[in-house]
């Protein structure tokens, strides 16, 4: 299970880094783990604060829910 989680997180980071840096997913996927993390950190730090918060809300919420769907209650429409 841990191997799949690592691959999943790497795939999310590759997609995220390609959007932040305007580089192809293929090119980003060829980076080492350390270089990938450095690129994400570098590009993310260049963003304005409000844009960072929007990305965090848009990416982390769905990511956490996809990892733990049964532990997070979903509000029901009345």
Residue 73 in any domain: the answer is: no
Residue numbers of the domain that contains 26: 2-67
Total of domains in the chain:
1
Residue 31 has a pLDDT of: 92
Give 1-34 as a 3 state SS string.
Answer: CHHHHHHHHHHHHHHHHHHHHCCCHHHHHCCCHH
Number of neighbouring beta carbons within 10 Å of residue 77: 4
Asked whether residue 77 is domain-assigned, the answer is no
pLDDT digits (tens, 9 = 90+) for 23-71: 999 999 999 988 988 898 898 889 888 888 888 777 777 776 676 666 5
Q: Is residue 72 one of the residues assigned to a domain?
A: no
Q: Identify whether 8 is part of a domain.
A: yes
Q: Is the residue at 20 inside a domain? A: yes
Which tens digits make up the pLDDT trace of 5-29?
588 888 888 888 888 899 999 999 9
Note whether residue 75 is domain-resident.
Answer: no
């Amino acid at each position: 299970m841990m191997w799949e989680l690592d691959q999943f997180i790497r795939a999310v980071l590759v997609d995220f880094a390609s959007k932040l840096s305007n580089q192809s997913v293929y090119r980003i996927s060829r980076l080492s783990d350390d270089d990938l993390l450095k690129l994400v950190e570098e590009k993310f730090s260049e963003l304005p604060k409000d844009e960072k918060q929007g990305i965090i809300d848009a990416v982390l919420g769905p990511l956490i829910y996809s990892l733990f769907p049964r532990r997070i209650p979903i509000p029901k429409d009345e």
